[in-house]
Amino acid sequence: MSAQPLIRSHDVTRRFGAVEALGPLSLHGARGEFVSIVGPSGCGKSTMLEIVGGLQRPDSGSVFVAGVPLEGPRDETAIVFQDSATLPWRTVLDNVAFSLEARGVARDERRDIARRGLETVGLAAFAAHYPAQLSGGMRQRVALARALVTEPDLILADEPFGALDEQTRLLMSDELLAVVDRLGCGVLFITHSIQEAVLLSDRILVMSARPGRIVDEITVPLERPRTSEVLSSTAAAECVSRIWALIRREAQVAMQGAS
């Protein structure tokens, strides 16, 4: 794993009207590192991810990606959303090619690359299908392929497997791990699932109730490469238990704040 910093944010805050949504929050992530953020609902996880993705601007604080102050969305950053964000009027192949099209890659070339991307996520046979003809898990794989074909140095994922059933979620996690290991890109991953965070991450950042801050940082003591089988290990179980203890208190605070 390279020690070169890929993401560095310092004292980021964000307000929505009178509501303090986030921060001050500082985080960092390196190339090749998989960092997950877990925390209670409404703590500002997605807001932080969108700030790092350049989709929102912080009210204060700074964000650097690849050593450059972030001014807006970067071409080298790929974002995978909870809802697959597939374009229903395009075939699966053209959905995957969309990111390349936005970069101005020629039609034949981008379709070739998109075909290889579909092979990576096991959907080569569905290239001519439309998203409505696929299951939720398959649509999410299309979104993943669309993110990967641009060969990003940073992947931001906002609960990408949140709407999937447990077995699909585990299989998708295995796929994501394999691809990320091969690409060597950095990942910032938002999830509600502690198990998913433990399975995927090198480090897990636990956020407080709103306004979200990092209350703890846990290094996952599991070797990489991994598959979902590691979840049955004692080390993984201890890690899940420790994170749950941290989150439980914050989730209770969030629930009391909401009621």
Partner 1 sequence: MTAALPRYARPRPDRLLGLTPAVWTGVLAVLALAALEVLARTVVDPIDLVPPTTMVVRTAELLGTAGFVTGQVLPSLGLIAAAFALAGVAGVGLAYTMWRSPWWRLALQPYLNVYYAIPIFAVYPILVVLLGTGGVPIVLLSAAFGAVVVVTNSLLGFDSVPEPVRKLARSRNLGTRRYLTAILLPAALPDIASGLRLGLVYATIGVLATEFILSTRGLGHEIADAYHTFRTADMYAGILLICLLALALNIAVGAVLDRLDWRRR
Residues near partner 1, by CB under 8 A: 50, 53-55, 72-73, 75, 77-79, 81-85, 87-90, 98-99, 101-103, 130, 132-133
Q: What is the rounded CA–CA span in Å between residue 65 and residue 192?
A: 25
Alpha helices in the chain (DSSP H): 45-52, 92-102, 107-120, 136-148, 166-183, 194-200, 234-258
Closest approach of partner 1 to the CB of residue 147, in Å: 10
Q: Is 16 helix (H, G, I), strand (E, B) or coil?
A: strand
Kindly tell me which of 147 and 207 has the beta carbon lying closer to partner 1: 147
Closest approach of partner 1 to the CB of residue 255, in Å: 26
Kindly tell me which of 87 and 215 has the beta carbon lying closer to partner 1: 87
Kindly tell me which of 49 and 194 has the beta carbon lying closer to partner 1: 49
Closest approach of partner 1 to the CB of residue 132, in Å: 5
* Beta-carbon contacts of residue 45 (< 8 Å; ≥ 6 apart): 37, 38, 39, 158, 190, 207, 212
Kindly tell me which of 36 and 91 has the beta carbon lying closer to partner 1: 91
Going by the DSSP 8-state scheme, the letter that residue 90 receives in this structure is: S
Q: What is the rounded CA–CA span in Å between residue 22 and residue 201?
A: 23
Q: Is 77 helix (H, G, I), strand (E, B) or coil?
A: strand
Kindly tell me which of 160 and 213 has the beta carbon lying closer to partner 1: 160
Kindly tell me which of 78 and 207 has the beta carbon lying closer to partner 1: 78
Closest approach of partner 1 to the CB of residue 79, in Å: 5
Please give the C-alpha separations between residue 149 and each of 14, 99, 119, 175, 184, in angstroms, as whole numbers. Answer: 32, 8, 11, 15, 14
Q: What is the rounded CA–CA span in Å between residue 184 and residue 222?
A: 18
Closest approach of partner 1 to the CB of residue 209, in Å: 24
- In this structure, the number of other CB atoms found within 10 A of the CB of residue 206 comes to 25
Closest approach of partner 1 to the CB of residue 100, in Å: 10
Closest approach of partner 1 to the CB of residue 30, in Å: 22
Kindly tell me which of 5 and 54 has the beta carbon lying closer to partner 1: 54
Angle at 130 between CA 128 and CA 133, to 5 degrees: 115
